[in-house]
Amino acid sequence: AALGALCATFTLAAASTDAEKVLNNPVGASYSAELPQSNKTALRGSIVATTTEGETKDEHVVNFLLSISGLPSEGGPFTYHIHDKPVPADGNCTGTTGHLDPFGRGDSPACDKSKPETCEVGDLSGKHGKINSSAISSQFNDAYVALIPGNAAYFGNRSFVVHSADKTRLGCANFT
């Protein structure tokens, strides 16, 4: 039994690898997700992803423009992620399942933003900073996500979720 547990642990550890850079995103590709307006919450916002040229002419990374307001005065810092599944028709954010994580990293230990390749692909706040106030307007590039259908890091058919510090899902929207 001890040998079986050791083998299982080794297999899980070996399954996790660093994320791969995606530098060949098609220039001009664009996806966005807009948090739905509701009488139940003041939370509003959107995230827009477009492909831009990187440091070299042949390097095309994803540029994000994040704009969120109406976050509660307590419960932060707030996190935001790309989740694996789209928001179901009933709007229940739990249906989006976990973070986009094609390389099997998992969410523990916490992401080290100085080493973004070691983070879950979908852990945007881990790589680019949490939200420490009721609103944010931010722009950042991410070389580990893809706007190429079929790529493991592709998120055009997935969702965007905003969480409180205790991981409660405050809002979610599909990328379109």
Q: What is the mean pLDDT of residues 1-29?
A: 68
pLDDT of residue 8: 43
In the chain, the percentage of residues whose pLDDT exceeds 70 is 89
Under 8 Å between Cβ of 145 and 29:
no
Under 8 Å between Cβ of 173 and 155:
no
pLDDT of residue 170: 96
pTM for the predicted model, two decimal places: 0.88
Q: CB burial class (10 A; 0-12, 13-18, 19+) of residue 109?
A: exposed
Domain with residues 18-174, CATH architecture = Sandwich (2.60)
Under 8 Å between Cβ of 47 and 169:
no
* Coil, helix or strand at residue 116: helix
Strand partners of residue 68: 45, 136
pLDDT of residue 54: 64
pLDDT of residue 66: 98
